[in-house]
C-alpha cells in the first residue's frame, strides 16, 4: 500500500509542509488550492469540535503537491 495512503490527514499535511520547506500554513493552502481556514480545520485533533475530515479531492490535492515537491528535490 502507498505510504501516503497510510498516513492520517494530519500526518499527511505535516509531511507536505515539511517537504515544502520554510512555508506557513497559508502557503500550503494556496499551493493545494484549499481555503486556509478549511485546511487548518483538517489539522485539528479528531476529538476537537472544529475538526473536519478530508475527502478524496482534498487528499488527492495534497498528494499531488507533495509528489511535485519531491520531484523537485531529486
Domain boundaries, the chain: 3-73
Span 56-72, mean pLDDT? 89
pTM for this predicted structure: 0.81
- pLDDT tens digits along 1-49: 355 667 888 999 999 999 999 899 999 999 999 999 999 999 998 899 9
Higher pLDDT, 25 or 52: 25
The C-alpha atoms of residue 56 and residue 40 are separated, in whole angstroms, by 17
Instruction: Give the pLDDT of residue 61.
Output: 92
Instruction: Please state which CATH class domain 3-73 belongs to.
Output: mainly alpha
CA quadruple 19, 22, 28, 31: dihedral positive or negative? Answer: negative
Amino acid at each position: 500500500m502507498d505510504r501516503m495512503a497510510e498516513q492520517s490527514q494530519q500526518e499527511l499535511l505535516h509531511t507536505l509542509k515539511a517537504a515544502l520547506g520554510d512555508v506557513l500554513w497559508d502557503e500550503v493552502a494556496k499551493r493545494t488550492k484549499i481555503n486556509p481556514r478549511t485546511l487548518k480545520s483538517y489539522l485539528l485533533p479528531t476529538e476537537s469540535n472544529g475538526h473536519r475530515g478530508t475527502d478524496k479531492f482534498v487528499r488527492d490535492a495534497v498528494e499531488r503537491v507533495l509528489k511535485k515537491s519531491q520531484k523537485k528535490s531529486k
